[in-house]
Amino acid sequence: GQNIDQPTEMTATEGAIVQINCTYQTSGFNGLFWYQQHAGEAPTFLSYNVLDGLEEKGRFSSFLSRSKGYSYLLLKELQMKDSASYLCAAMDSNYQLIWGAGTKLIIKP
């Protein structure tokens, strides 16, 4: 079956770095997405990886290893506004997104 696993909750300190991991199993693979979702709001796109390696976008970076079925989202210089849920989603061979349950990130001062 198709499955996405990511931690339920993580806590980090303002100004620090946090890495949110995601492992996936899909029928075929057409890329992996990370979205940020604040409570009561719709998700907003953060990153998309389809090739192995690290993609950096400002304070956020995303990494993919296709052979390991693994990705992570790296957040640097954490700010209080980064407190949100982070959703990992893999696209299967039918271009359908398979969503993880999300990781709730709590930032403490």
Partner 1 sequence: GAVVSQHPSRVICKSGTSVKIECRSLDFQATTMFWYRQFPKQSLMLMATSNEGSKATYEQGVEKDKFLINHASLTLSTLTVTSAHPEDSSFYICSARPPGQDAGGYTFGSGTRLTVV
User: Is residue 61 within 8 Å of 55, Cβ to Cβ?
Assistant: yes
- Rounded Cα–Cα distance for residues 61 and 84 (Å): 16
Exactly one of 18, 84, 102, 105 binds partner 1 (CB under 8 A); which one?
A: 102
- Rounded Cα–Cα distance for residues 9 and 108 (Å): 13
Binding to partner 1, residues 13-42 (CB under 8 A): 30-31, 33, 40-42
Told to check if 80 binds partner 1 by CB under 8 A, we report: no
* Radius of gyration in angstroms for the set of CA atoms belonging to the chain, rounded to a whole number: 13
Exactly one of 18, 20, 43, 71 binds partner 1 (CB under 8 A); which one?
A: 43
Q: Which two tokens stand for residue 79?
A: 């700010």
Told to check if 100 binds partner 1 by CB under 8 A, we report: yes
Exactly one of 5, 25, 48, 61 binds partner 1 (CB under 8 A); which one?
A: 48
Q: Specify the residue, 76 or 92, whose C-beta has the smaller distance to partner 1.
A: 92
Q: What is the dihedral of CA 60, 79, 19, 93, to 10 degrees?
A: -50
Binding site for partner 1 (CB under 8 A): 30-31, 33, 40-45, 47-48, 50, 87, 89, 91, 95-97, 99-102
